[in-house]
Amino acid sequence: MPYLSVAHPPRTELLASAERRWRAIVQDKPDLRTAVDLQRGLLTRVIDLARTIEGGRLPRLSMPGKYLAAKLSRGVPVLLGEPIPLPTALLKTSLVGFCDALAAGGAGDVAAHIGAAVETGRIDAGSLLTASLARDQEAIRTGASHLGLAPDLAWLVAELAVGPVAHALQRALFSTATGNEPLAGALAAWNRGYCPACGTWPALAEVVDGHRLLRCAFCAATWERTIFACIYCDEQGEAFVTAAPDEQRFDRRTELCSACGAYLKTVDTTEVSPFPLVAIADMETMDLDVAAMDHHYGRPPLKDFTTRR
């Protein structure tokens, strides 16, 4: 199952499941309460925005399956390099909302300044959102820095606002590809470490019934490789190892690659996290990030596709 279409629970079920997971995090690690409260505020907005987009605001794309299949077979994620018309007015309001939530949740003026820049048009919301969907971190960082704004926060709020669109497009394009269609075949053959829809690296792998399912950190696409190798550099030899930092918890592991210096978190679970709860899975495993970084492993920047489109 190289690409897996993930169940799409109703809003109340999604929020209830998220709440259970947030409570468990705080119970286990009370010092994460503030981080959890902030994530609750942000993800609730993401869930509401996703519903609005799916309720009729999804950009219409006319890309034939054969064309998308050809892109995938060249290793190019389908959404990259396409002129995708975004619902900018709707997303601009969301951008400001995410800035407000971040400002109230601890980021203070740094976030408020970005919100004000979006609201007044000092930042062009359309360009910011388009750059985020194109996964163009350089453009967003440079643009924010020129305006004296925090580049990482600008990247984050744009990602929060465009994520629901990327997710809905990914589902719309991939879930309907079935049978003998060229796109279904190309998806079945997808064997890369990065997302076939948007090109982002996975936030982590969720292992269900022995299937190591990679979970895109942006659009929540779910896919499995046919090889067990470093997702970043394909190393399969001695340089690629799996470690469990907590000796009592072998269900939570980290894949470490000394060939490229990168790591991937891996957790055993009974079902994959629906969008946007992959972010909660990421927070639940923060101790694995810390352990990997303590050993000088890191996560590589986004893959650059600009020369390959």
Report the interface residues with Zn ion, using CB under 5 A.
Answer: 195, 197-198, 200, 216, 218-219, 221, 230, 232-233, 235, 257, 259-260
Q: Tell me which DSSP letter residue 32 carries.
A: G
Least separation in angstroms between CB 298 and Zn ion: 11
Least separation in angstroms between CB 219 and Zn ion: 3
Contact 103, 109 (CB under 8 A): yes
DSSP class per residue in 243-276: E-SSTT-TTEEEEEETTTTEEEEEEE-SSPPPTT
> Which lies closer to Zn ion via its Cβ, residue 107 or residue 195?
195
> Which lies closer to Zn ion via its Cβ, residue 173 or residue 257?
257
> Which lies closer to Zn ion via its Cβ, residue 181 or residue 235?
235
Contact 195, 218 (CB under 8 A): yes
Phi, psi torsion values for 240, nearest 5 degrees: -110, 110
Least separation in angstroms between CB 9 and Zn ion: 20
Q: Give the whole-angstrom CA distance, residue 208 versus residue 171.
A: 20
Least separation in angstroms between CB 171 and Zn ion: 11
Q: Which two tokens stand for residue 137?
A: 């971190």
Number of C-beta neighbours around residue 228 at 10 A: 10
Angle 306-240-248 from CA coordinates, rounded to 5°: 120
Least separation in angstroms between CB 7 and Zn ion: 17
> Which lies closer to Zn ion via its Cβ, residue 168 or residue 280?
168
Least separation in angstroms between CB 235 and Zn ion: 4
How far is residue 210 from each of residues 99, 158, 247, 266, 269, measured CA to CA in Å? 40, 34, 20, 12, 10
> Which lies closer to Zn ion via its Cβ, residue 93 or residue 191?
191
Q: Tell me which DSSP letter residue 31 carries.
A: G
List the beta bridge partners of residue 267.
206, 252
List the beta bridge partners of residue 264.
255
Q: Give the whole-angstrom CA distance, residue 226 versus residue 75.
A: 15
Least separation in angstroms between CB 302 and Zn ion: 11
